[in-house]
Structure 1
C-alpha cells in the first residue's frame, strides 16, 4: 500500500465531518442552553432560538466562504492574522485559551445527569466530572480520528434518544404553557431576552470546530462549507421541537435538566435510555470536538510564533501534549471553581460572540488579497451577499457581546479582563524577546501564508488561460 493511500484512509469524509459538527452543537445546545434559556425567558426561548438561528447563519457565512476559498487548520487564527492584523490573531488565541470553560460546562452537566442514574454518587458530582475529564483527555491524546469515530457512534445513539423525547412528549404538551404573547411579561427584559439569544448562538455555532481540522479532511473545500451549513440547520429544527416539548411538559418552577421533563411521560426504561443516549452521549460528543478545537487553535498560534515552538510539538497522533495538559488542567480548575453551569455558559458565550468580530471582518479583506481564489470558491455565493451578511453579523455580535458582559457577575468579567490583560502583556513581551534575538514576530505573522499564495497563483493562471 502506498503512503498516499494510507494517508487518505486516515482522513475524515463528509459524513464524519457533518457528524462531528452535529455532535458539537447538540450536546451544548439542547442539554445546556435550553434549561438556562427557559429559566431566563420562558416561552420566549422559541423566538430567541429562531433569531439566534438567523444570526448564526449570517455569522457562519464569513467562515464558510473563507474556508471554501482558503481552507487551513486553525483557520480562525490564520484568517484573522494574515488577512486583517496580528492583533486579531492574538484575540482568537485568547478564545482558544478560554475554550476549556465550555469543556468545564459539559463536564459539570455530565456529572449532574450521571448521578441521576446512580443516586449513591449524588454527593460526588465534582469527582465524577474530574474523572470523566481525565478519561477523555486520554482519548484526546490519541488524535482526531479517535474522536471523530467515537463521536459519530454517539451522535446516532443521541438522535434516537432525542426522537424518543420529542415524539413521546408531543401528545402530552400543555399548550397553555406556551404563551408567546407573554414573552416580555413577568420580569423578562430585552437584556435577558438578548442573553438567551446569545446562549443559543454560541451553541448553534459548535460546528465551527471542523474548520480547525482542515488537514484531517479528505476534501476540506467541499466538506467544511457543507458542514457549517447543514449541521446548524439540522440542529435548529431539533432545537425547536425539543423546545416546544420542554415548554409544554415542564413542571412549575426553575428547570434544572431535561430529565425532569422527561420523567413526566417516559417510563423508567425509556427515561434511562434518554439520559444515557441523550444528555450523556450529547455532552460527550461536544467535549470531543471542543477539545479538538482548543488544541488546534493554541497549536496553530504556537506554530506561528506566539508561543514557543515546543508548545506546538505534536505526538505521533498529531496532538500537542503540552497544549492538551493545559486544556485539561484549566478545565479541572474550572470544574472545581464552584461556578454554576449558567454563569460558565454565559462567560463562554460572551467570548465566543466577541471573537466572531474578526471572523465577520475577514470577507472584507479576502477579495482584495485573493481575488482569483475567490473565483474558485467551493461555496458558490455572490460576494456582495457574503459581505452584507458579514456586516449584519458584525453589528449583532458587538451588541450581543455587550449584553452578555453586562449580565455576568463581577468575578466573571474580572476573570475575563485579567485573561485579556495578561495575554496582551505576554504578546508584547514575546515580541520584544524575539526581537532581542534578531527576529521580528509581527513581520512573520503578517507574512503571506504560502499554501494560499500557491493556490492564488494557480487560480490566476487558470483565469488567464480562460481569458485567452
Structure 2
C-alpha cells in the first residue's frame, strides 16, 4: 500500500479549479491584478526582442546568406506551434507558474517539478548571460559617445581576464530594485523601453532600405536549403521569451482574454521586426560582410547609408536599452515561477511572501537578484547559456503535450482560446522541439542531465515531503 501511495503521489495532478482558485494566495497577501493587454504583450516582446537581433543574426547569416530572412520565418513557424499551445493553457489556467503550473495540471507533480527546475535553468542562467552582454554593449556605447570604456577588470568575468563583472551586477540589481516597487511600475518602465527599441529598429529599417540594392540578394540561397535549416536552428533561440506573459497570469486584469492575445501578438511583432531588419540588412550590405558582431555590422550600414555617425550611436544606445528590458522581464518571470512553486510547497515558503504595500514577493525577488548577479559577476557562462536552450525546448514540448492531455481528460473545461488544427498543431510543436533539441551539442545534453539529476535529488529530499498536494491527500485519508 505504501508503494502504491508513493507512486500515486508522484503522478497526482493538481485540479485546474484548485490551481486557479489558489491564484494570488501567497503568504502575506496575493499578487495584484494591474496589467492590461499592452503591458502583457510588451512583457513578452521585452523578453524576446533583445540579444537575438543584435547577436544571433550575425551568427546565422554566414550559414544561409540572404536566405537568413527565410530562416527567421521558419523559426517563427516553429515557435508558433508552441505559442498556440501556450495561448490555450494560459487562457485556461491563468496563474503565475507558466508551463510549470500547466504541467502540474496535466502530467503530475514529478513532471511539473522537472519542468519548473528546467525553467530555473532557462531564466536564471540566461538572464545572467544577458547581463554580461549588457556590459559589453554599454562599453561599445561609451566608446562611441565619449571615447572611453569601463576597464576589463570590472566589465568582464574572471575567465575573460576580469576581476569581477560589476557592470553585470549593476544592471541585475537595478532591475531587481525596480521589481521590488511592484509589477505595475516595472510594466510601465518596460513598456517605455519596448516602445523605444521598436521605434529604433523601425528607424534602422527605414534608413537601411534607402541603401537597398537588389544585387545583394543574388544568389538568394547560396548555401541551399541545408544552410537555411542550419541558420533556422541558430535563429530559433532568438524567439525564446514569447511565453513571458504567461508568468503574469495572476497580475493580469483580464487573464482569460489577454494572456492568449499577448502571447500571439508578441510573437507576431517580434517576427515582423526580425524579418524586416534581416531583409534591410542583407539588402544594404553584402551578406559576406554581415557576420560576427551584428551590432557593429548594423552600425556600419547606418554610417554607410547616411554618411554620418550619429545613427550608429543611437543604435548602440538602443542595444543597451533593448537588453535592459530583457533583464527586467526575465527576472520578473523567474520570481513568479518560484512564487507558484513555493505556494505548492515544493520550495521554501519564503519565496511566496508578498509585500502588502507593493504586492511584490520581496524576499523572492532579492534572492533571485543576488543569485543572478553572482553568476553574472563571477561564473563562466559559455556552456551554461547553451544549456538554457535545451531547458526551454523541454518545457515547450511539455506544454504541447499538456494541451493534448487536458483536451482528453477535461474536454468540457471552459477555454477562452483553443489551439487551431488540433491535434496537428501540438503534435508538430512537440516534433519541432525534439528536432531542435536533437541538434544540440553533446556537452549541452550532459549539463541538462546533470541539472536534472540535481533537481530530482532536491525533489525527493525536500519537495515531495513538503508538497501541499501530498498534505491534502493525507488529510483526506
Q: Is this a same-fold pair by TM over 0.5?
A: yes
State the aligned residue count. Answer: 420
1:162 shift after superposition: 0.7
- Distance in 2, matches of 1:432 and 1:156, equals 44
- Distance in 2, matches of 1:62 and 1:388, equals 11
1:404 shift after superposition: 1.8
In the alignment, structure 1 residue 264 sits paired with structure 2 residue 288: no
- Distance in 1, matches of 2:388 and 2:131, equals 14
Residues 67 and 75 of structure 1 are in contact (CA less than 8 Å); yes or no, is this contact kept in structure 2? yes
Residues 295 and 320 of structure 1 are in contact (CA less than 8 Å); yes or no, is this contact kept in structure 2? no
Cα 1:336–1:39 shift into 2, 3 Å = farther
1:344 shift after superposition: 5.5
Cα 1:176–1:130 shift into 2, 3 Å = farther
Partner of 1:33: 56
- Distance in 2, matches of 1:347 and 1:231, equals 24
* Aligned pair partner of 2:423 in 365, 370, 387: 387
| 1:401-412 pair list within 5 angstroms | 401-406=437-442, 410=443
1:414 shift after superposition: 4.0
In the alignment, structure 1 residue 312 sits paired with structure 2 residue 341: no
Residues 56 and 294 of structure 2 are in contact (CA less than 8 Å); yes or no, is this contact kept in structure 1? no
- Distance in 1, matches of 2:82 and 2:296, equals 32
- Distance in 1, matches of 2:150 and 2:289, equals 23
Partner of 1:292: 332
Partner of 1:67: 90
1:9 shift after superposition: 9.2
- Distance in 2, matches of 1:261 and 1:17, equals 29
- Distance in 2, matches of 1:60 and 1:194, equals 20
Cα 1:284–1:446 shift into 2, 3 Å = farther
TM-score scaled to structure 2, two decimals?
A: 0.80
For 1:255-307, what per-residue CA distance to the aligned partner results, in whole angstroms no more than 9, with x for missing partners? 2132332233332222222221x212211111121111111112211110111
Cα 1:115–1:77 shift into 2, 3 Å = same
1:405 shift after superposition: 3.6
In structure 1, runs of 5+ residues without a counterpart are 1-6, 435-439, 448-468
Partner of 2:161: none
TM-score scaled to structure 1, two decimals?
A: 0.81
Residues 199 and 346 of structure 1 are in contact (CA less than 8 Å); yes or no, is this contact kept in structure 2? no
Cα 1:80–1:133 shift into 2, 3 Å = same
Residues 86 and 399 of structure 2 are in contact (CA less than 8 Å); yes or no, is this contact kept in structure 1? yes
Partner of 1:148: 187
- Distance in 2, matches of 1:446 and 1:392, equals 36
1:169 shift after superposition: 0.8
In the alignment, structure 1 residue 170 sits paired with structure 2 residue 212: no
* Aligned pair partner of 1:241 in 276, 288, 302: 276
Cα 1:431–1:26 shift into 2, 3 Å = closer
* Aligned pair partner of 1:108 in 121, 132, 147: 132
User: In structure 1, the residue corresponding to 2:292 is in which secondary structure?
Assistant: coil
1:146 shift after superposition: 1.8
| 1:182-221 pair list within 5 angstroms | 182-184=222-224, 196-221=231-256
For 1:427-461, what per-residue CA distance to the aligned partner results, in whole angstroms no more than 9, with x for missing partners? 11125644xxxxx66646999xxxxxxxxxxxxxx
User: In structure 1, the residue corresponding to 2:60 is in which secondary structure?
Assistant: helix
User: In structure 2, the residue corresponding to 1:373 is in which secondary structure?
Assistant: coil
Cα 1:136–1:353 shift into 2, 3 Å = same
Residues 180 and 365 of structure 2 are in contact (CA less than 8 Å); yes or no, is this contact kept in structure 1? no
Cα 1:97–1:8 shift into 2, 3 Å = closer
Which has a greater percent of helix? 1
1:388 shift after superposition: 1.4
Cα 1:205–1:176 shift into 2, 3 Å = same
* Aligned pair partner of 2:435 in 394, 399, 403: 399
